[in-house]
Amino acid sequence: MTLPALPHEMDNHTFRLAVAQFDRAAELMNLDPNLRQRLKLPDRSLVVSVPVRMDDGHVEVFTGYRVIHDSSRGPSKGGIRYHPEVNLGEVAALAMWMTWKCALAGLPYGGAKGGVRVDPQKLSRGELQRLTRRYAAEIFPFIGPDKDVPAPDVGTDAQVMAWIMDTYSMQVGFASPGVVTGKPLSIGGSLGREEATGRGVVYVTLEAMKHLHLDPKKATVAIQGFGNVGSHTARIMHEVGAKVVAVSDHTGGLYNKNGLDIPKLLAASNDHGRPLGDIKLGDRITNENLLQLDCTVLVPAALSEQITEKNAAKVNCRILAEGANGPTTLEADQILHDKGVFIIPDILANSGGVIVSYFEWVQDVQRFFWKEQDIRDRLHEIITSAFHRTLEFSNKQKSGMRMAALMSGIDQVAKAHLARGLYP
């Protein structure tokens, strides 16, 4: 079945990767052709103009997006990213992956994603706030605690979520903390949310090590990306006794075969956001070389399509834990499978963020907040259960972990559509 004609901006590599993954899974599971056609494209794709008065008085117009892929199982859920390369195709792909991710974890959500094409580093705090509030006002009719719930992503943080929550609350006339997750604690945020994605990556990686009979204290770990996901993954891996030998950001990376001093590295990088390239705590290494290091665990936690058919044969890890969304192409998948690499796919590995976002939403709705250890315990229970269900599905279907995760998630969404039927 061919992909319907796409709007020009949606037709890009990331969206075609998401659709190709879906097509392969749908073929293996003999998905109903009508559902297959329906689930290829989003429920709703919103493109908005975001005019902002800059500090010097002139008005600059940015482009914003909010894509809802599916809402058959509950409100849609997904982050908002501020990045100069944000486009409709990328956002649509991320929304699709969110649908499968939520279903795989058993969360009562559909998938969504949003973003603004902007470099937030070039904006003052005032400009960033005005951009955020105008974007929130433009998407206001489509978001809400029972409709669509945004969260932080690349280039956004708890403060951005606070501005969105306030803008929405001013429009409805009362405080509505459940409209976003990833907020500050003072306005309904959850303990454990900031570290959740990285902690989830570690939890499933430790389960994979048990499955493969590997000792974490003898494991070496390389992490591409040192933002929220990568830095917390590094910290928690270090805490459980693994040796983190390499980390990197957009400026390059650091390597030490004996293990990096992660506490010192975190302290140095948190010093006014210092890039890793300016920190003298290891030997310099490029992002490309980091992906080719001989290590037990490789965690791509940066942007999509980092491991391709061009470099997959040079990847030398035992476990690939995908902290980023879509870091591995389908062609690379086959190469890694043939090499015996155990892949923990993105929709499983990085689902800790949306799982704890769900906890935050539940706490906001109930007006009852949990202890941090309760959150960690519940995260561990949900994400490790999802890992073992996926592993069991993989063994039963004789497929790789990625296809098993996709088929499992798609199956839950398909059941919801078939139960609800087609309106009208």
Res 11 pLDDT > 90? no
Q: Could you give the residue range(s) of every CATH 3.40.50.10860 domain in the chain?
A: 42-177
Res 277 pLDDT > 80? no
Q: Which residues are catalytic?
A: 113
DSSP 29: T
| pLDDT at position 2 | 55
Task: Give the strand pairing for 243-249 and 76-83.
Answer: unpaired
| pLDDT at position 272 | 59
| pLDDT at position 8 | 67
| pLDDT at position 280 | 86
Work out the average pLDDT over 297-310: 94
Work out the average pLDDT over 171-179: 97
Q: Could you give the residue range(s) of every CATH 3.40.50.720 domain in the chain?
A: 196-344
The chain-wide mean pLDDT, for the chain, equals: 95
Please give the residue that has the higher pLDDT: either 276 or 390: 390
Work out the average pLDDT over 184-199: 97
Which of 6-15, 255-264, 281-290, 310-319 comes out lowest in average pLDDT? 6-15
Percent residues over pLDDT 70 in the chain: 97
Q: Which residues contact 192 (CB under 8 A, 6 or more apart)?
A: 199, 356, 359, 372, 375, 376, 379
pTM score: 0.93
Task: For tokens 């559902």, name the residue.
Answer: 35
d(CA 53, CA 51): 7
Q: Which CATH superfamily is domain 42-177 in?
A: Leucine Dehydrogenase, chain A, domain 1 (3.40.50.10860)
Question: Which fold is adopted by the domain 196-344?
Answer: Rossmann fold (3.40.50)
| pLDDT at position 275 | 81
d(CA 166, CA 160): 10
